[in-house]
Chains A and B, each alone.
Chain A
Amino acid sequence: MLGIDKKDRNLLVVVAVLALAAPFILNPFPAGSELAQFNAGYPDLMQRFVIFGIFAIGFNILFGLTGYLSFGHAAFLGVGSYSAVWMFKLLSMNVLPAIILSVIVAGLFSLLIGFVSLRRSGIYFSILTLAFAQMSFNLAYSVLTPITNGETGLQLTLNDPRVLGSSATADGSIPVTNLFGLEMRSTYEMEVGAWLFQFNAGYYLCAFIMLAAFYLAMRIFRSPFGMMLRAIKTNQTRLNYTGLNSRPYTLAAFVISGMYAGLAGGLMASMDPLAGAERMQWTASGEVVLMTILGGAGTMLGPVLGAGFIKYFENIFSKINDSVLHGWFAFLPDGMENALVTIVHPFVGKGWHLTLGLLFMAVVIFLPGGLIEGGQRIAKMFKKKKGSSSDDDSEHSPKQAPHVAE
């Protein structure tokens, strides 16, 4: 079924269940309890999980498979956002045309940048993509202000000449984004005992698209095309002497990952119709690199995991302030409590980036395969303890797994 083998199908099912049940899974603590601040099951954050998941899945198709490290992918995300907002301004508040346009525009833009950048490899490629992205960012801030609205960012106004739809609603406010009438912001709330679960239309749209994107990436990984991309990463010389032209393969991978980024940008704008240049800055490109590596570059699940991990902790860590810390360590004697709070303080709250940086370094140094590799190692340890036959557990890593000719 679906043209994938059993292992992949199971993985897809797991991801689907996780994505669809996220409002439950991410809200394990009763509303109003002290731990409720660690709940992540609210629409805004859940949307970010899956949108950045899409972004990272796409980035992984380029970096994970071909090894070309792009430092400019945020540019495609930004372009996608701008296109979507313009679609809302000019055509309709329906998200479908906006998303389609953002994918197309990002695809064309990445075709252009990829065509030039892929003439070089290694660090030169990284610098070229970085240069293009910074250029787009600077232009969006300056000359392109009529299109991007500069520093303020592109927003909807009451005077937008929307062809299909009205400029303003009956009560004089800006219309909201919808999918054929289903408003993206509409949320169904369900109370079960002390728990409150939120089911948001926008989140589910993003989640379904993420699942489709994940499935598509899976097909690419298992296809001859994906195999060629991995071959490029390993040995381009041999590839050329085997009669294959590496340039169109890398360009195709670049454009596909650019379109994924555009899709993420389009979705971002669909959830909250505004777009700013800071989405294109190189730190934003760096973020998707972090997500992919942290989760595990070249693995199927890694990037999604990395995206979720970073976005979750970014949100949660920034909420941990000193009073929370005091709460945690309250059982200790006063002196120790204060000392511990002082030690932990720089790493939480506003210090989240410090933790992220350290974590990222640790992953690069000790776990080049990312969280996925960590998980595999732990799984192996358990297997050994149990003493069962240790079949090579490499389910998500295309590097080691022989998927073919079974």
Chain B
Amino acid sequence: MGILEVKGVNKRFGGLQALGDVNLSVQENTVHAIIGPNGAGKSTLLNCLVGKLIPDTGSVMFDGQSVLGRKPHEINQMGISRVFQTPEIFSDLTVMENVLIPCFAKRDGAFRMHAYESVASEKEVIERAEAMLEDVNMLDKRHMHSASMSRGDKRRLEMAMCLVQEPKLLLLDEPTAGMARADTNNTIDLLKEINEKRDITMAIIEHDMHVVFSLAERITVLAQGTPLVEDTPENIKGHPKVQEAYLGQAH
């Protein structure tokens, strides 16, 4: 039984079958990649997992509970954090504040009326956020205005914001999309480092093969809204079906 169990999920947009009978099982403490050519339904699937879309049929169970019908913030509180294609951070806030917010969310839940306490007096939360920034080598930038950072740093910050919540599952939506080779490699290193340092379950949506094969322990190949195969990277590499669906379309 995996930590995330997707069973028989269908999603139509008008006449378009975006997802057709998707089954997926992500095991705890593994890095699971979901790959596929453009338009394969990767993003739709991801949006069904985080509550942005509701599938027409099927079930999505996380940690023994259904996520269907829950709002994004509720799903996050269940233990799923999400990294976006383009880093979503609080760009008017400082780096430190960016990390403090998820800390508070983790401690206080979806809403707490803590309007009279001062942030500065929350020593434990601050220590935790500092430790996290230390972990991603950003502690020296903690007073920086996050809008003025490089894209790579924004990605790093977003990762820190997700990790500080100690999620049971970290979802990454094409974390290297639009990045130069060097940045991509940095991101891969960062993810590897994270994976080694802590036992974390990751699901990566990606179409860059290089990223996928550097990181993933299991790979699911999605084509036209349906999973083709699920296997280890070694087996996927030589799989004829995958080459047909993926390379055949890409080249």
Instruction: Check whether chain A touches chain B (CB < 8 angstroms).
Output: yes
The 8 closest A-B pairs by CB, nearest first: A243-B76, A225-B115, A245-B110, A402-B143, A243-B105, A238-B88, A248-B111, A234-B92
Q: How many A-B residue pairs have CB under 8 A?
A: 132
Q: Which residues of B contact A220 (CB under 8 A)?
A: 115-116
Count contacts on B: residues with CB < 8 A to the other chain: 48
Neighbouring A residues of B81 by C-beta, 8 Å:
241-242
A112 located at the interface, meaning its Cβ lies under 8 Å from any Cβ of chain B in the complex: no
Which one of B77, B97, B119, B129 lies within 8 Å of A243 (CB-CB)? Answer: B77
Does A224 lie within 8 Å of B120, measured CB to CB? no
A-B contact pairs, 20 of them (CB 8 A): A224-B108, A225-B112, A227-B101, A233-B92, A234-B91, A237-B88, A242-B81, A242-B102, A243-B74, A243-B102, A244-B101, A244-B105, A245-B71, A248-B110, A399-B92, A402-B96, A404-B97, A404-B119, A405-B120, A406-B120
Q: A78: shortest Cβ distance to chain B, in Å?
A: 26
A226 within 8 A of B: yes
User: Of all chain B residues, which has the CB nearest A243?
Assistant: B76
Cα–Cα distance between A330 and B50 once the two chains are bound (Å):
74
**Is A204 at the interface (CB under 8 A from chain B)?**
no
**Interface presence of A403 (CB below 8 A):** yes
Per DSSP, chain B at the interface is mixed
Distance of A233 Cα from B97 Cα, bound (Å): 14
| A219 and B115 within 8 A (CB) | yes
Q: Counting CB contacts under 8 A, is A230 at the interface?
A: yes
Contact A405 B111 (CB under 8 A): no
B90 touches A238 (CB 8 A): yes
Q: How many chain A residues have a CB neighbour from B under 8 Å?
A: 37
Contacts of B77 in A (CB 8 A): 243
Q: Are B120 and A241 in touch, CB under 8 angstroms?
A: no
Q: Are A224 and B92 neighbours in the complex by a CB distance under 8 Å?
A: no
B125-153: which have CB < 8 Å to A? 126, 129-130, 142-143, 145
Contact A242 B161 (CB under 8 A): yes
Is A33 an interface position by the 8 A CB rule?
Answer: no
A127, CB-defined interface residue at 8 Å:
no
B residues within 8 Å of A by Cβ? 50, 71-74, 76-77, 81-82, 84, 88-94, 96-97, 100-102, 104-106, 108-122, 126, 129-130, 142-143, 145, 161, 165
Residues of A participating in the B interface, judged by any CB pair closer than 8 Å: 3-5, 219-220, 222-228, 230-231, 233-235, 237-245, 248-249, 252, 256, 399-400, 402-406
Residues of chain A within 8 A of B96, CB atoms compared:
402, 404-405
In the complex, chain B residues whose CB is within 8 Å of the CB of A228: 101, 104
How far in angstroms is the closest Cβ of chain A from B165?
A: 7
* Nearest chain A CB to B241 CB, angstrom units: 34
Q: Please, how many angstroms separate the alpha-carbon atoms of A248 and B92 in the complex?
A: 21
Q: Which residue of A lies closest to B89 (CB)?
A: A238
B126 contact set on A, CB distance < 8 A: 404-405
Please give, as numbers and ranges, the residues of chain A lying within 8 Å of B108 by CB-CB distance. Answer: 224
State whether B115 touches A241 (Cβ < 8 A): no
How long is the Cα–Cα vector from A235 to B87 in the complex, in angstroms? 11
CA distance A6 to B106 in the complex (A): 30
Q: Which residues of A contact B102 (CB under 8 A)?
A: 242-243
Across the interface, do B119 and A227 meet the contact criterion of CB distance under 8 Å? yes
A304 CB to closest chain B CB, in angstroms?
A: 20
**A226-B115, A402-B143 known; A244+B73 contact, CB < 8 A:** yes
Which of B74, B88, B110 lies in contact with A235, CB distance below 8 A?
A: B88
| Chain A residue at smallest Cβ distance from B92 | A234
Q: In the complex where A5-B120, A240-B71 touch, is A224 in contact with B114 (Cβ < 8 A)?
A: yes
Instruction: Please report the C-alpha to C-alpha distance between residue A244 and residue B81 in the assembled complex, in whole angstroms.
Output: 12
Shortest Cβ distance from residue B110 to the other chain A in the assembled complex, whole angstroms? 4
Other A-B pairs beyond A243-B165, A405-B126, 20, CB < 8 Å: A5-B120, A223-B115, A224-B104, A224-B108, A226-B115, A230-B90, A231-B93, A233-B92, A241-B73, A241-B84, A242-B73, A245-B71, A245-B73, A249-B111, A252-B115, A256-B115, A402-B142, A403-B120, A404-B100, A405-B96
Is the beta-carbon distance between B90 and A243 smaller than 8 angstroms?
Answer: no
Residues of B within 8 A of A252 (CB): 113, 115
A225/B114 contact (C-beta < 8 A), A242-B165, A403-B119 known:
yes
Report the bound CA distance from A227 to B126 in whole Å. 14
A243: B residues at CB distance < 8 A: 73-74, 76-77, 102, 105-106, 109-110, 165
> Given A223-B119, A240-B71, A406-B120, A231–B90 Cβ distance below 8 Å?
yes
Say whether B120 contacts A219, CB under 8 Å. Answer: no
Known: A223-B118, A224-B122. A234 touches B90 (CB 8 A): yes
List B contacts of A256 (CB < 8 A). 115
Identity of the chain B residue whose Cβ is nearest the Cβ of A67 in the assembled complex: B92
- In the assembled complex, the Cα of A360 lies from the Cα of B119 at a distance in Å of 34
**Chain A proximity of B82: nearest CB distance (Å):** 5
Q: Is the CB of B91 within 8 A of A405?
A: no
Q: B119's contact among A224, A231, A233, A244, by CB below 8 Å, is which?
A: A224
